[in-house]
Structure 1
């Protein structure tokens, strides 16, 4: 087997998702994942510290794009407008492969308490990154935290709609629409 394999990270994610769905997360081993992907254990561990992190592949990219989008929002943008810019930036990472594997990923997470916890930690991490980016823009702590949490709720709602849709809806548009609906709902809280 060659020392370098193209698309190794993606192949590992695909193999893991298939195995997790076929036999369950707990029953799947790293050895089975690398065998299915046609790669080696050392390749696996170059990309992921453990099998849990296979499902968090791309979180760093999402976080980076979210923060970059918030930072590049116009200076006069309010906190939610900056979050919207961050969501649109993060949408760049949401390609056809993400959408195709979305239902499988949701099923695997729903079947494992450990993965549900990991998924929640992922969202907390994204919200913290967004809030930090807002504070860097001069937004006060409470407002930054609230805007970031609304942004993550919009992301979650847009993702669920996106992976369930039969047509080729744009993730960025769905996230923007979800954030606007949350903005309207928040205004009614009184």
Structure 2
């Protein structure tokens, strides 16, 4: 190993995504990732539990942004707008990482167990949205429906954002997905 360089976690995440794109998830080892990042395997495990976790490391930050935005939304706002504000807040967390998001998405859609993990993370996010809405006095059923709806809106906005290089920023893509939903339900 050479001279110490900062941001080992960031370098590891970048190395992992590059290797997953080049070789595939199954054919990439933790040692491969560590070597590409210029660190040891031990350093890898200081930052990540396993090579899957590289892809899911930001889930808590994303969820925290969503819950905070829902909690700070005006009390009289329509509930779908409250959820939309939460999803746009998630978009703001990711917006400056489009290239990273594309690589991450490609790795996940290419591997069934990673797809399963992503679905679990999205389900957890929907539950957190529902919890935040219940804290605002929303009924159980309405909170659950809005949580799932919010995740669907986020997912559609995200897919538009990474799939179309001319698409605007992620919060705007999420806002457009919400507008599409409003049109369909009007």
Bin the TM-score by the shorter chain.
Answer: over 0.9
- The 5 A counterparts of 1:5-154 are 5-97=5-97, 99-154=98-153
Once the two structures are superposed, what CA deviation does each residue of 1:87-106 show, in whole Å capped at 9, x if it has no partner?
A: 12212211332x11233222
Contact 2:160 2:167 in 1 (8 A): no
1:140-167 Cα distance to aligned partner (Å, 9 max, x none): 0111111111111111111111112223
Give the unaligned 5+ runs of structure 2. Answer: none
Shift of 1:168: 5.9
SS of residue in 2 equivalent to 1:27? coil
TM-score normalized with structure 2 length? 0.92
- Which consecutive aligned stretches of 4+ in structure 1 deviate over 4 angstroms post-superposition? 1-4
Higher deviation after alignment, 119-128 or 165-174: 165-174
Helix, strand or coil at the partner of 2:166: coil
**Cα pair 2:15 2:37 within 8 Å, conserved:** yes
Tell me, which stretches of 5 or more residues in structure 1 are unaligned?
Answer: none
What root-mean-square deviation, in Å, do the aligned CA atoms of Structure 1 and Structure 2 show?
A: 1.8
Number of positions where the alignment pairs a residue of Structure 1 with one of Structure 2: 186
CA contact (8 A) 2:122 2:151 kept: yes
**Secondary structure in 1 matching 2:65:** helix
